[in-house]
């Protein structure tokens, strides 16, 4: 395909790109403005997922971000941070600590979420090694999670479907179930599982506990109950492992706080951030560490040379700085905090009465809808029905981008949708997103209802839960 032949929809056999899914036809996006996208064939689509991946928190076409990037590129866009630091890197680190994360002591910039989480994993390990506790390397994580696609971060998820082909490369970490209404509404079962994992690994071998304080795509808008966080903090105190929060999605305002971890009773030792920091205008992530983590290195080897070519590049940091300035100046984190509960209620009201909808969760502008088998209102839907994919398709047909997942075979979550609009969406735009989404869910629910009643024998009645 040449540029002049740009197609409205691109299929695997028509492109030089290796697509994510070879059986999907990819619409060809051309421009964005605010929360609206335009494809090369002129379709206008409303984006309820901030660039599809919870990234573009300030929307598309933001002049000041484009100008900040251009101005920095005119001065110097890139230099390796082995040789130089730069004003944008220094100012962004200072600003992040001052505005967003006053409890943290230092920042290491990277280029994305997987790099941020993997760097946190390395720093947690280094913390123990520097202090002479060299046996500590294993991580304990929440099984129903996504922390990235590198081998280091893939080993942190317990999701079989993601891990399977790469299993030989993955380190043996331990995983505990999430405390959802289905398994563990109080958080006590997860704490017992944590105790068993600590015992199995031997607490002296455990480096860190990793989780998202509020889950994103893996279990949209889920957060463990208060008792879990208290119990986690007690065990950290007792056994000396570190707590690392993956705030790749939740960091920088998504839940109505600068960091979602602020709302837990377990302040983290390390935090990984990415997505919203660059807001889709630059590839940037970061790891923030507390003083004792920094001090272990400062008093020890005084080196952490591992890193990536684009870490702390002036261009990316200048964009990050402009993003923080815009968020702060426009009071957008506060807007998300104030508007979020209402948005969740509007979403719940619009979906009320649709028999496949079980739960509408939400923290700020990170909302999640979980779907169940309408025959008992409780069990996972038969995976063959591919409800998640059908909802995204129905939404797209109605001109809306949503992000749905179907991790059923991993046992802890069924079909669900993540709803994560840009912080700048107007009330009218939010209302339109909710209306289109509800219509998409209603259409799929009707199809599901017909298919389940027509083919009762093909879809055995629900058994009440996962394996």
Residues that bind ligand PLP (CB under 6 A): 53, 112-114, 117, 146-148, 212, 216-217, 246, 248-249, 274
Shortest reach from residue 390's CB to ligand PLP, in Å = 22
Cβ–Cβ < 8 Å for 305, 68: no
Smallest distance, ligand PLP to C-beta of residue 114, A: 3
Q: How far is the CB of 53 from ligand PLP (least distance, A)?
A: 6
Question: Taking the CA atoms of the chain, what radius of gyration do you get in angstroms?
Answer: 22
What is the C-alpha separation between 175 and 189, in angstroms, rounded? 13
Phi, psi of 413 (to 5 degrees): -155, 145
Q: Among 19, 45, 22, 21, which residue's Cα sits nearest to residue 32? A: 45
Cβ distance to ligand PLP smaller for residue 363 or 436 = 363
Q: Cβ contacts of residue 444 below 8 Å, gap of 6+?
A: 356, 387, 390, 391, 394
CA 467/CA 458 separation, integer angstroms: 19
346-385 per-residue burial string, b: 16 or more CB within 10 A, e: under 16: bbbebbeebebbbbbbbbbbbbbbbbbbbbeeebbbbeeb
Residue 146 or 459: the one with the smaller Cβ distance to ligand PLP is 146
How far apart, in whole angstroms, are the C-alpha atoms of residue 98 and residue 92?
Answer: 10
Q: Which is nearer to ligand PLP, 53 or 233 (CB)?
A: 53
**153 or 179: whose CB is closer to ligand PLP?**
153
Q: Using CA atoms, how far apart are residues 21 and 150, in angstroms rounded to an integer?
A: 19
Residue closer to ligand PLP by CB (options 126, 418) is 418
Nearer to ligand PLP, 100 or 217 (CB): 217
**Nearest-angstrom CA–CA distance, 120 and 271:** 7
* In the complex, least distance from residue 176 CB atom to ligand PLP, rounded to whole angstroms: 17
Query: Residue 63, class by beta-carbon neighbours within 10 Å (0-12 exposed, 13-18 middle, 19+ buried)?
Result: exposed
Vertex 24 angle, CA 151 and 19, to 5°: 40
CB of 115 to ligand PLP, least distance (A): 7
In this structure, the number of other CB atoms found within 10 A of the CB of residue 53 comes to 17
Least distance from ligand PLP to the Cβ atom of residue 250, Å: 8
Task: Pick between residue 128 and residue 147 the one whose CB is nearest to ligand PLP.
Answer: 147
- When the beta carbons of 117 and 444 are compared against ligand PLP, the nearer one is 117
Contacting residues for 76 by C-beta, under 8 A, at least 6 apart: 86, 314
Least distance in Å: CB of 247 to ligand PLP? 8
Q: How far is the CB of 74 from ligand PLP (least distance, A)?
A: 27
For residues 414 and 407, give the distance between their C-alpha atoms in angstroms, rounded to a whole number: 6
Q: In angstroms, what is the minimal distance from the CB of 262 to ligand PLP?
A: 17
Name the minimum Å distance from CB 361 to ligand PLP.
Answer: 16
> Angle, to 10 degrees, between the axis of helix 332-351 and the axis of helix 427-454?
30
DSSP H stretches of helix in 330-454: 332-351, 387-397, 427-454
Bridge partners (DSSP) listed for residue 357: 371
Q: Which is nearer to ligand PLP, 57 or 249 (CB)?
A: 249
Among all residues, whose Cβ is closest to ligand PLP? 113
Nearer to ligand PLP, 40 or 263 (CB): 263
Please report how close the Cβ of residue 406 comes to ligand PLP at its closest, in angstroms. 16
Give residues with Cβ within 8 angstroms of 144, minimum separation 6.
158, 159, 177, 178, 215, 218, 219, 407, 410, 412, 413
SS3 16: coil
Q: Which residue, among 285, 352, 301, 294, has the nearest Cα to 106 in the 3D structure?
A: 294
CB-wise, 272 or 322, nearer to ligand PLP?
272
């Amino acid at each position: 395909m040449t540029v002049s032949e740009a197609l409205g929809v691109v299929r695997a056999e028509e492109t030089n790109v290796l697509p994510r899914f070879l059986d999907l036809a990819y619409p060809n996006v051309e421009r964005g403005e605010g929360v609206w996208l335009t494809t090369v064939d002129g379709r206008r689509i409303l984006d309820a997922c901030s660039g599809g991946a919870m990234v573009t928190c300030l929307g598309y076409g933001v002049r000041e971000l484009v100008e900040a990037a251009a101005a920095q590129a005119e001065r110097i866009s890139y230099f390796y941070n082995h040789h130089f630091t730069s004003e944008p890197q220094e100012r962004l680190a200072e600003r992040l600590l001052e505005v967003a994360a006053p409890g943290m002591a230092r920042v290491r910039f990277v280029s994305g979420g997987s790099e941020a989480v993997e760097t946190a994993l390395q720093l947690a390990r280094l913390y123990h090694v520097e202090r002479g506790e060299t046996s500590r390397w294993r991580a304990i994580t929440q099984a129903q999670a996504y922390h990235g696609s590198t081998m280091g971060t893939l080993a942190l998820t317990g999701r079989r479907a993601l891990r399977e082909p790469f299993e030989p490369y993955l380190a043996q970490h331990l995983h505990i179930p999430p405390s959802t209404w289905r398994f563990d509404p109080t958080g006590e079962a997860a704490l017992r599982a944590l105790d068993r994992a600590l015992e199995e690994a031997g607490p002296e071998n455990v480096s860190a506990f990793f989780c998202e304080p509020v889950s994103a795509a893996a279990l949209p808008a889920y957060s463990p109950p208060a008792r879990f966080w208290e119990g986690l903090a007690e065990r950290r105190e007792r056994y000396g492992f570190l707590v690392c929060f993956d705030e790749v999605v939740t960091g920088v305002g998504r839940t109505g706080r600068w960091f979602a971890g602020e709302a837990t009773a377990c302040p983290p030792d390390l935090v990984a951030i990415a997505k919203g920091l660059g807001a889709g205008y630059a590839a940037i992530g970061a790891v923030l560490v507390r003083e004792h983590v920094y001090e272990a290195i400062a008093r020890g080897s005084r080196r952490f040379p591992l890193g990536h070519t684009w870490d702390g590049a002036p261009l990316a940091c200048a964009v990050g700085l402009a993003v923080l300035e815009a968020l702060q100046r426009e009071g957008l984190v506060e807007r998300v905090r104030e508007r979020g509960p209402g948005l969740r209620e509007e979403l719940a009201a619009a979906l009320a009465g649709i028999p496949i909808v079980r739960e509408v969760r939400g923290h700020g502008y990170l909302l999640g809808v979980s779907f169940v088998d309408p025959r008992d209102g409780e069990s996972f839907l038969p995976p063959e029905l591919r409800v998640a994919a059908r909802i995204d398709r129905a939404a797209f047909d109605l001109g809306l981008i949503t992000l749905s997942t179907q991790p059923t075979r991993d046992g802890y979550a069924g079909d669900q949708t993540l709803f994560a609009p840009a912080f700048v969406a107007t009330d009218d735009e939010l209302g339109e997103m909710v209306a289109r989404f509800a219509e998409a869910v209603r259409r799929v629910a009707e199809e599901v209802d017909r298919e389940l009643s027509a083919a009762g024998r093909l879809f055995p009645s629900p058994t009440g839960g996962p394996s």
